[in-house]
Amino acid sequence: MKSTEAEVVIKLDIINRVAEKTGVPKMKAEQAVDALFHSMKEALTRGERIELRGFGVFVVKPRKRGVGRNPRTGEEVAIPSGKTIRFKPGKELQTNENGEIRDDDSGESDSHS
């Protein structure tokens, strides 16, 4: 039976992949990844939209207040309004008919969109 659990990639995995693909030392790769994440956090905190062509778009959206329920007690709980971050994948990250992510830079994917 096929497992439905996705593999988890952590920050260290990203750092290692950046170091392997670029040939830079891991310390430099870590600094680059940290700088990227820091810049993204700052932009999202300011409510800015982040567009990464070929990857996707991060947007900050308002979240309405509402009422939820405590799963243990069933008691109603007020959920305050706030902001949430949404990610919309670009064409290259969207899944194909088999639920697999298309890899358009590999040269092996279908040529039709």
pLDDT tens profile 48-70: 999 999 899 999 999 999 999 99
Residue 87: inside a domain, yes or no?
yes
Shared-domain flag, residues 42 and 62? no
Please report whether residue 7 resides in a domain: yes
Q: How many residues does the chain have?
A: 113
Asked if residues 57 and 90 have their Cβ atoms less than 8 Å apart, the reply is yes
Sequence-ordered list of residues with C-beta below 8 angstroms from that of 72, at least 6 positions apart, any chain? none
Tell me which amino acid residue 20 is: E
CATH number of the CATH domain containing 84? 4.10.520.10
Question: Which tokens sit at 92?
Answer: 């290259």
Q: What is the pTM of this model?
A: 0.68
| Total number of domains in the chain | 2
Predicted confidence (pLDDT) per residue in 79-111, tens digit: 999 999 999 999 888 876 566 766 555 444 443
